Structure 1
């Protein structure tokens, strides 16, 4: 365990639920895990005991929080969950924190299987619809000219990125055609508990986290992870965004939660120490920003910044996230007036420390 992790309290130590099984983490809240076919090899998903009023009385069942990608292994794991972990009760609704494939990929299949409605924020729902449909500007190949303007020139990486047109639809082949909107501050009754929606930005268009004051539990999605910092990237569809600033601003929404809040992250293990982790994440980004300022004493592209922020070897999948994050840090400094930006004759954007600094 690294020194930063040692500052957190892992509520269940090294205990993990086996694939296809669940672990109770709070009254009416169960933890399960699904595998992923890339470096971040798992996602945590959640089952919440629920009930709805029907003409025939109260129907008891479950709300699913996030779904895993759409593949046979995930469907098989879900079928085992349905058969053995739901106490014979149905799925009443599916709630998705954000549009990334590991969170929404199997949502359409689950919604159809159980005739259950989808709940998401508007920003996340329509982003998922666009990317699943592979619309121009939202398909995988749109990132290639975007990243080329920020210094991507490695022929091997370019070749692999150019083949990613169907990257998202392969893992999210469909999104339900209707949804229930979640909005910041909304109070949502799930079973016997009330949950408050907390939206966040920088990692995704309108990420939803859920906090239950009765339980002192935060379902954090990807906004607060215990071991890694969530990716914040500038992507082609919003090429002049400022996601680092948006993410840091969003973290402040969690500061007023109780000190004993149990954080249920989408990756890693449940933990206590939310406020400590917020400080760690702030420090992490401030340190990366300082590195970038130093590097930009001479003109630098986002591609030039990648090996400074990510000194290890990266595959094509990792490189797209690393380049997007390097650019995000450059953009924050550019928006803050610390860096200037110019488009050079080779059609690459380069950033340099402003003369005032």
Structure 2
């Protein structure tokens, strides 16, 4: 659920010419100074991404933290190292979380309890996280199995889904039992500066970026990443959802609200300049993907038949869920635009075709 699959909607090899002004990245237990009172750290993830970026903002005699890493012993040890080292043993004053995916919110409960600090997050992100965590240990619901059967999954894929269902909560330290609500356009003083909340959606329900005009910084979470396209998916809980329209609308809106001269602090890869160019590239990449998909639908196709026009790499069992969700996001977007229709056959499989 974290990220798209190698610039999923952007076949083209060209990318905007972003610049990366920082020469060094933080190692384990280290921090890099971004601006006065703002530090960049990394927590381990494993897998292709290897790490997530987290941020500390000086606040009085302590530190406000933005994003926390995935739950687990390795991340706990990472926090112990930076708290003792570059954060100088000072306490955590508040924990801000951009959105509810485990690599961002996973250790929020550890930090808030350790320092008796509040969690600050948007309402939909907190509630959605609690809901998904509650699935831990449950059997896969019939609605979900019908959803993936409709996408064209075979029995082996469905059995694999049954075996892996309910894994979301395993990436979480026990969540905080309460939160302070972030809302779009809130202005919050963190330490010496005011930070503005800029909400996006599509990758997650109510993703909060934090923009500081004084420092010309934007903590972008997964809303804008420099080298990968965040996953935008339809899930069994809302099979007719249109998150791609939400995503494209959110990106265009961020471009009007945050100036291009900010240094973007993303959750993955390195801080960069070139926010507006990157937003334009993300939007145009998805639009090109939609065009390719509409052309493919001159003949009826199942979800599993459309991967080749949206993704560069072969989709195996490990990527099947991500690819299905993101393909459905593009298909539902075409339906919402009146460019495609969906028809279910007698065996419960959905077929998509272009309307013109």
Structure 1 length as normaliser, TM-score?
Answer: 0.92
After TM superposition, the structure 1 = structure 2 runs for residues 81-230 of structure 1, keeping only pairs within 5 Å, are: 81-134=82-135, 143-153=144-154, 155=156, 157-230=157-230
Q: Which has the higher contact order (CA 8 A, sep 6+)?
A: 2
2: CA distance, partners of 1:165 / 1:296: 31
Question: Using a 3 Å threshold, how does the CA distance of structure 1 residues 135 and 163 change in structure 2: closer, same or farther?
Answer: closer
Match of 2:7 in 1: none
Contact 1:44–1:265 (Cα < 8 Å) also in 2: yes
Unaligned 5+ segments in structure 1 are 52-59
Q: CA deviation at 1:137?
A: 9.6
After TM superposition, the structure 1 = structure 2 runs for residues 214-293 of structure 1, keeping only pairs within 5 Å, are: 214-256=214-256, 257-293=258-294
Match of 1:22 among 10, 31, 39: 31
Aligned length: 344
1: CA distance, partners of 2:294 / 2:276: 27
Q: CA deviation at 1:36?
A: 1.1
2: CA distance, partners of 1:319 / 1:143: 14
Contact 2:145–2:158 (Cα < 8 Å) also in 1: yes
Alpha-carbon RMSD: 2.0
The answer on 1:12 being equivalent to 2:22 is yes
Q: Which moved more, 1:82-91 or 1:286-295?
A: 82-91
1: CA distance, partners of 2:312 / 2:71: 32
After TM superposition, the structure 1 = structure 2 runs for residues 318-357 of structure 1, keeping only pairs within 5 Å, are: 318-354=319-355, 357=356
The answer on 1:41 being equivalent to 2:42 is no
2: CA distance, partners of 1:267 / 1:216: 19
**1:92-150 Cα distance to aligned partner (Å, 9 max, x none):** 01111001010011111111111111010000000111111217999799644322211
**1:205-250 Cα distance to aligned partner (Å, 9 max, x none):** 1100010000111100001000011110000111111111100000
Contact 1:140–1:165 (Cα < 8 Å) also in 2: no
2: CA distance, partners of 1:38 / 1:49: 31
Structure 2 length as normaliser, TM-score?
Answer: 0.92
Q: CA deviation at 1:20?
A: 1.5
Q: 3-state SS of the aligned residue for 1:163?
A: helix
1: CA distance, partners of 2:252 / 2:16: 23
Question: Using a 3 Å threshold, how does the CA distance of structure 1 residues 168 and 219 change in structure 2: closer, same or farther?
Answer: same
Q: Which moved more, 1:237-246 or 1:135-144?
A: 135-144
Q: CA deviation at 1:302?
A: 1.4
Q: 3-state SS of the aligned residue for 1:272?
A: coil
